[in-house]
Amino acid sequence: MIHIDRIVAGTIVVTAVKGRLDSSSSPKLEEFLAGAPHEGNILLDFAELTYISSAGLRVVLKATKLVRGAGGTLAVCGLIPQVHEVFDVSGFSTLIPIHPSREAALATMT
Amino acid sequence: MPRKPSNIIYSADETPPLGTQLVLGVQHATLALLFIVYPLVAATEAGLSFDDTQIFITSCIIFMGIATLVECLPRYGSGLLLVQIPNMAHLPLAVQSLAAGGPALYAGMSLIAAVSQLTLSRFIGALRAVFPPEVCGVAVTMLGVALADPALRRVFGITGEITPDLDLRYAMVSVVTLVIIIVLAIFSRGLLRLFAVAIGAGAGWALAVYVGVAPQPAESFATLAYIDLPRLGFPGLSFFSWALIPAAIITGIISAVDMLGTVVSMQRMDDADWRRADLGQAGRAIRANTIADMGTAVTGGFASASSSAAIGVAFATGTTAWRVGAISGILMVLAAFSPRLIGLLTIIPSSVIGAILVYAAAFLIVAGMELILSRRLSDRRIFTVGLAILAGLAVAILPELVHITPEWMQPILESPLSVATAVAIILNLIFRIGIRQEASRDVTVEENPFTVATEFLENQGDLWGARRDVVAIAIPVVAEGVEMLLDTGVAPGKLEMRAHFDEENFDVSLIYDGEPIAIPTHRPSPEDLLGDAQAVARFVGYMLSKRADKLVLGTDGTHQKLTLRFEH
């Protein structure tokens, strides 16, 4: 249902999420992000995320607070239109930087 | 106002420059006038005299022009680019009635056909359930299939039986014409694209002359006047043929279905967000056609109907502006004043016309498939479409089957379009039996909301023939609503998911025991997602209200009811 990969690209930790992020799968991402260092910059690559519910948004919000608390930045990239709509309607797109692709995000965040 | 598709340069309501309107109008009028070959065939088969044939053709052209003009006008007609041509469906009726009782009997039968067409058009708005997109799609696809025979015969220069000594010069002219039209329609911009059909036809005609397959003008051609007053006749009316009356009624119905197919094709071509047939608009077009047909009948002419070939021209030139059609209508009426011009059109090489018909047929076949696939297909719908198309192909491939049926049935059974559409209508009505417009299932907290919503809504969408994009939008929104209600405990343990479909709306209600939720009008802070159950419910409720077309909170007996509406 969900597959998570971590890639370190220079000073940025990229977490790529595939599948659906809902109430049953978001604890896995929450656990994954909690186990990662919060210092530095985190990029959530959602290019292969097909669905996100409010439970998924909650995990993203928590991770943002943790990273910012440690002085870092959290951004997301590669949103498909359906997921982008959720970020827009929920107001998350004004809260979290959104980049069109991983390459664009890395170029901006580096 | 419909959203213009990217491949359309001038849409229905737009006004191209006057010069462009004129040249496009000439293209449409010329193509339409080429089809006077149908009444010519009928007149020859029935052995009409030279004078009667002239009246037969002249009346047909004048009322083709008038019908085209009225059909295109937004207030009195459809406001679409519809161009009339002599109605091929009238060919059997004309041949039989002209032979049996002369022009007066054909006038009477033609009038009956017009009345039956008019009657159907009066009720067409109430027949929405009879003409869902897949039935319209079958009709449009079969319009294209029905063009295949006349198109391919012209492409290969076949006039009777196919013989081994096929003259490939005809096919060469057709292929060159077709390639030029397609290349200009796809790869060119501006004027070249607008005149794609005229350029292709001109080049094809020149090639036909060069290779020696262009027909020579008859000796009488030189004696035809450049300008002359058109001759109309009043042959009287005769209804004394009980054997032909059913054929006349059926011809009217076939003509109405044919018109419906062309109108839906134009609506679809002109609107990037097309959802369903505008049957009111189709009814206005059919009414304009029937009134012109009545005029044709009493003045001794051959009936007309909107042209599927013109749809191909509209697509190739990227222009669906109604003004172009209106100009072509006026030009057709003017053409009736020039016997020399009409005579000239009869010598355009048939392989050039064949190429234009192949282009139109290819477009219509795919346009019909697009219509069919615009809705989710259940097993019932797959067989409705598949069997209907097979039935249409059966009479096209095995015409001998039609010849063993009673004579009065043959006019309808000879037409792949009418057979396929009739089978589609009947199967659609039969397969609707037993399908309720409302369905529900319980969802428990142990189940995955997204999986449940996907399975339930896709299954119901298939049964109801709902639009794919609407079901795809509804699934994540409904899943979000279910997840919020169950996970926050607002709906303790379980809820009922109830879907309702009525063609205009796709509604999904979530019914549960518990407290009502509040939907804020302003967006709550994302921080609410980290708050208590009611704060999360408020936040998600706000999101649902923005993502569905409408959110309604209410009660169902003693239960709470949250309804998400998706416009269909």
For the domain made up of A2-109, the CATH class stated in words is alpha beta
Q: Please report, as a single letter, which amino acid is at residue B88.
A: M
Same domain for B449 and B307: no
Instruction: Find tokens 């027949």 and name the residue.
Output: B127
Three-state secondary structure call for residue B511: strand
Residue B256 lies in a domain: yes
Residue B221 DSSP symbol: G
**In the predicted model, is pLDDT for residue B329 greater than 90?**
yes
Contact B529 A24 (CB under 8 A): no
More confident position, B411 or B458: B458
**In the predicted model, is pLDDT for residue B300 greater than 70?**
yes
Same domain for B359 and B457: no
Q: Which residues of A touch B (CB under 8 A)?
A: 20, 22-24, 51, 53-55, 57-58, 61-62, 82, 85-86, 89-92, 95
Same domain for B98 and B65: yes
First CA to last CA across chain B, in angstroms?
Answer: 17
Same domain for B70 and B176: yes
Q: Give the whole-angstrom CA distance, residue B422 versus residue B250.
A: 11
Q: pLDDT confidence of A34, banded at 50, 70, 90?
A: confident
Nearest-CA distance from B526 to chain A in Å?
7
Strand partners, A7: A14
Three-state secondary structure call for residue B497: strand
Instruction: Find tokens 């052995």 and name the residue.
Output: B47
Written in H, E and C, the secondary structure of B390-439 is HHHHHHHHCHHHHHCCCHHHHHHHCCHHHHHHHHHHHHHHHHCCCCCCEE
**In the predicted model, is pLDDT for residue B51 greater than 70?**
yes
Contact B536 A54 (CB under 8 A): yes
Residue-wise pLDDT tens digits, B403-450: 898 877 776 788 788 889 889 999 998 988 777 789 999 999 999 999
User: What is the pTM (predicted TM-score) of this model?
Assistant: 0.68
Q: Any idea which of A22-26, B155-159, B240-244, B465-469 has the lowest mean pLDDT?
A: B240-244
- 3-state percent helix, strand, coil for chain B, nearest multiple of 5: 65, 10, 30
Mean pLDDT score, B47-53? 80
Q: Any idea which of A2-11, A18-27, A30-39 has the lowest mean pLDDT?
A: A30-39
Residue B9 lies in a domain: no
Test the A interface: residue of B443, B450, B454 with most A CBs within 10 Å: B450
Nearest-CA distance from A54 to chain B in Å?
7
Task: Tell me the pLDDT of chain B averaged across its residues.
Answer: 89
Same domain for B447 and B394: no
Same domain for B79 and B224: yes
Strand partners, B304: B86
Mean pLDDT score, B35-49? 80
- Final residue of a structural domain among B392, B410, B431: B431
**In the predicted model, is pLDDT for residue B461 greater than 80?**
yes
So what's the pLDDT on residue A60?
95
Cα-trace Rg, chain B: 28
Q: Which residues 6+ apart lie within 8 Å of B139 measured at CB? A: B257, B258, B260, B261, B264, B368, B417, B420, B421, B424
Q: Give the whole-angstrom CA distance, residue B189 versus residue B196.
A: 10
Q: pLDDT confidence of B10, banded at 50, 70, 90?
A: very high
Same domain for B452 and B555: yes
So what's the pLDDT on residue A21?
95
Is B483 in CB contact (< 8 Å) with chain A? yes
Strand order from edge to edge, sheet including B550-556: B438-444, B494-501, B505-512, B559-567, B550-556
Contact (CB, 8 A) for B357 and B174: no
Torsion of CA B341, B347, B350, B354, to 10 degrees: -20
Same domain for B388 and B358: yes
Mean pLDDT score, A73-77? 94
CB neighbours (10 Å) of residue A107?
Answer: 10
Q: pLDDT confidence of B306, banded at 50, 70, 90?
A: very high
Mean pLDDT score, B502-522? 89
Contact A22 B547 (CB under 8 A): no
Q: Give the whole-angstrom CA distance, residue B133 versus residue B139.
A: 10
Written in H, E and C, the secondary structure of chain A is CEEEEEEEECCEEEEEEEEEECCCCHHHHHHHHHCCCCCCEEEEEEEEEEEECHHHHHHHHHHHHHHHHCCCEEEEECCCHHHHHHHHHHCHHHHCCEECCHHHHHHHHC
Contact (CB, 8 A) for B403 and B410: yes
Q: Give the whole-angstrom CA distance, residue B142 versus residue B422.
A: 12
Residue B513 lies in a domain: yes
For residue B547, the chain A residues in CB contact (below 8 A) are 85-86, 89
**In the predicted model, is pLDDT for residue A71 greater than 80?**
yes
Q: Give the whole-angstrom CA distance, residue B175 versus residue B207.
A: 11
Strand partners, B550: B565
Nearest-CA distance from B267 to chain A in Å?
28
B446: nearest CA partner in chain A: A24
Domains identified in chain B, total number: 2
Same domain for B324 and B465: no
B246's enclosing H/E stretch is: helix B245-270
Q: Work out the angle at residue B191's Cα, subtended by the Cα atoms of residues B188 and B192, and round it to the nearest 5 degrees.
A: 40
Q: Which of A54, A61, A62 sits opposite B480 (nearest CB)?
A: A54
So what's the pLDDT on residue B435?
74
What percentage of chain B carries pLDDT values higher than 90?
48
**In the predicted model, is pLDDT for residue B544 greater than 90?**
yes
The string of DSSP codes covering B482-493 is HHHHHHSSSS-S
How many Cα neighbours within 13 Å face the side chain of B71?
36
Contact (CB, 8 A) for B386 and B235: no
Mean pLDDT score, B134-148? 86
Same domain for B111 and B257: yes
Report ipTM for this prediction: 0.90
Mean pLDDT score, B486-503? 92
Contact (CB, 8 A) for B131 and B260: yes
The encoded tokens of residue B409 equal 């049935």
Contact (CB, 8 A) for B533 and B475: no
- Final residue of a structural domain among B431, B452, B471: B431
So what's the pLDDT on residue A99?
96
Q: What is the extent of the structural domain holding B481?
A: 438-567
**In the predicted model, is pLDDT for residue B243 greater than 80?**
no
Q: Any idea which of A17-31, B283-297, B313-327, B518-532 has the lowest mean pLDDT?
A: B518-532
Residue B337 lies in a domain: yes
Contact B479 A22 (CB under 8 A): yes
For residue B543, the chain A residues in CB contact (below 8 A) are 54, 86, 89-90
| Phi-psi map region of B441: left, alpha, beta (phi>0 left; psi -120 to 50 alpha) | beta
Residue B190 DSSP symbol: T
Q: Which of A22, A24, A89 sits opposite B547 (nearest CB)?
A: A89
Residue B145 lies in a domain: yes
- Final residue of a structural domain among B385, B404, B431: B431
CB neighbours (10 Å) of residue B182?
Answer: 17
Residue B319 DSSP symbol: B
Q: Which residues 6+ apart lie within 8 Å of B520 measured at CB? A: B538, B541, B542
Q: Which residues 6+ apart lie within 8 Å of B196 measured at CB? A: B180, B181, B184, B185, B188, B316, B317
Contact A22 B449 (CB under 8 A): yes
Q: Work out the angle at residue B553's Cα, subtended by the Cα atoms of residues B547 and B556, and round it to the nearest 5 degrees.
A: 130
Residue B371 lies in a domain: yes
| Phi-psi map region of B293: left, alpha, beta (phi>0 left; psi -120 to 50 alpha) | alpha
Residue-wise pLDDT tens digits, B356-410: 889 888 988 988 898 898 888 888 889 999 999 999 999 888 989 888 988 777 7
Residue B4 lies in a domain: no
**In the predicted model, is pLDDT for residue B87 greater than 80?**
yes
Residue-wise pLDDT tens digits, B184-219: 988 987 778 878 888 998 999 999 999 999 888 777
Residue B1 lies in a domain: no
The string of DSSP codes covering B148-183 is HHHHHHHHTT-SSS--SS--HHHHHHHHHHHHHHHH
Residue B375 DSSP symbol: B
A92: nearest CA partner in chain B: B526
The CATH number of whichever domain residue B524 belongs to comes to 3.30.565.10
So what's the pLDDT on residue A38?
65
- What residues does each domain of chain A span? 2-109
Q: Give the whole-angstrom CA distance, residue B106 versus residue B98.
A: 6
